[in-house]
Amino acid sequence: AQSVTQLDSHVSVSEGTPVLLRCNYSSSYSPSLFWYVQHPNKGLQLLLKYTSAATLVKGINGFEAEFKKSETSFHLTKPSAHMSDAAEYFCVVTLSYGQNFVFGPGTRLSVLP
Amino acid sequence: NAGVTQTPKFQVLKTGQSMTLQCAQDMNHNSMYWYRQDPGMGLRLIYYSASEGTTDKGEVPNGYNVSRLNKREFSLRLESAAPSQTSVYFCASSDVIYGYTFGSGTRLTVV
């Protein structure tokens, strides 16, 4: 069965500094992996996805993530945080589209001025 | 704009009341889902529908029923609401290329 671990429930960074949100997964098969962002009182928006193509995936708003099979990780990074990045971020794994997506518990990102 | 539309956005129910949450998508997706989101627990799947005419239970189906009325619409019904069902509910649809598209959510409080 798949599972997703987000190692930090809350990350706080200063504006202009790098962001690292960690995600590890457990899956018996080659998974598809996603990062979603949820701003306060909003729905979830897709940031980026990995589906067995390039291991370094670029998403919207300057975010990117690298799939590392040996480490079973899919960490989300951004070189320079912006105030508008403050939100909840969810790492998601699924074996294939149309099947159940397994969500991590989320990481709340705070950006300090 | 194309996407997933949920109604209502907010609802307060008394224990034992019933209600139906409506969801419609206009992206011609086959698969649709209902999730609930609770603090510290991420999103948990209630029911999903892989195609029109089919529905399957997810992780937390108890206390809920669903109807896939047609390809566009997937409703979630609470027959007898309980305080434990206080949550934010999200509908989503998916396709092979773009993954999930979520609705904006329904904030339900059961008192």
State pLDDT tens for residues A19-72.
999 999 987 777 888 999 999 878 889 899 887 778 899 999 999 999 998 899
Cα gap B88→B109, rounded to integer Å: 9
Q: For residue B64, what are the β-bridge partners?
A: B78
Dig out the tokens for A84 from the structure.
């508008």
Interchain contact, B90 vs A43, CB within 8 Å? yes
User: Among all residues of chain A, which has the CA nearest to that of B57?
Assistant: A100
Cα gap A10→A108, rounded to integer Å: 5
**Does A8 score more than 70 pLDDT?**
yes
**Does A97 score more than 60 pLDDT?**
no
Which residues does chain A have within 8 Å of residue B102's beta carbon, measured at their own beta carbons?
36, 43-45
- Looking at every residue in chain A, the average pLDDT score rounds to 89
**Does A98 score more than 70 pLDDT?**
no
Pick among A2, A46, A101, A107 to test the B interface (most B CBs inside 10 A): A101
- What does the DSSP 8-state code read for residue B73? B
Full pLDDT tens readout for chain B, 111 residues? 569 999 999 999 999 999 999 999 999 988 899 999 988 777 889 999 988 989 999 889 999 999 998 999 999 999 999 999 999 999 999 876 667 889 989 999 999
pLDDT for the residue A99: 60
The more confident residue out of A70 and A18 is A18
Mean local confidence (pLDDT), A74-78? 97
Task: Please tell me if residue B53 touches chain A, with a CB cutoff of 8 Å.
Answer: no
pLDDT for the residue B90: 95
- The closest of B20, B18, B26, B16 to B8, measured between CA atoms, is B20
Interchain contact, B103 vs A101, CB within 8 Å? no
